[in-house]
Structure 1
């Protein structure tokens, strides 16, 4: 819910999302004039702030909720449907 709220605020469309125990798969569509780095920074920073406000014990349990790293690739020769299916099936792996 938090990530969808951030996406709406930043005019980013989440096409697929799967939350894993130690990482997140997210397929987004955004205006190419925006920078991916800024979008990822906003997702991580805003969600961390909201979660720490809602669950104060996270402040003492985890030094940070997110790492600075991320992996990104663009849709090219692979269809959007293939990417959505891959993301949606991650919990079955």
Structure 2
């Protein structure tokens, strides 16, 4: 499901003309490193990423999602975003790559 989530999010980013540079996730959240132009409202991008991925993943993994008891909410309404303009890109990529993926 995480692999499919990444595919969906890459498609959404492409439609926004945003580059998804790194993606990883854990059982209850995902990490994305995106490069986006200043004309993009981050809240709109995130809303679209969550909305589109939720619709597709619910449709494609209905049995699995219902089995893990997610109820009517797929993603929480909150998100964390940080600017990393001063940090070396390699450091941010390494952090995301090192997150534990569920088996």
3-state SS, counterpart of residue 100 of structure 2: helix
Please list the CA deviations of residues 6-62 of structure 1 after superposition, one character each: whole Å capped at 9, or x if unmatched: 111221111111111111010001111111000000000011111122234447942
Q: TM-score, normalised by structure 1?
A: 0.87
Q: Distance in 2 between matches of 1:77 and 1:4?
A: 24
* Aligned mate of 2:87, from 61, 78, 90: 78
Q: TM-score, normalised by structure 2?
A: 0.79
Q: Please list, as runs of the form range in 1=range in 2, the aligned pairs for 1:1-93 lying within 5 A after superposition.
A: 1-57=7-63, 58=65, 61=69, 62-91=71-100
Deviation of 1:77 (Å): 2.5
The range that moved more, 24-33 or 61-70, is: 61-70
Q: Distance in 2 between matches of 1:86 and 1:55?
A: 28
Change in 2 beyond 3 A, CA 1:59/1:10: farther
Gaps of 5+ in 1: none
Tell me how many residue pairs correspond in the alignment: 92
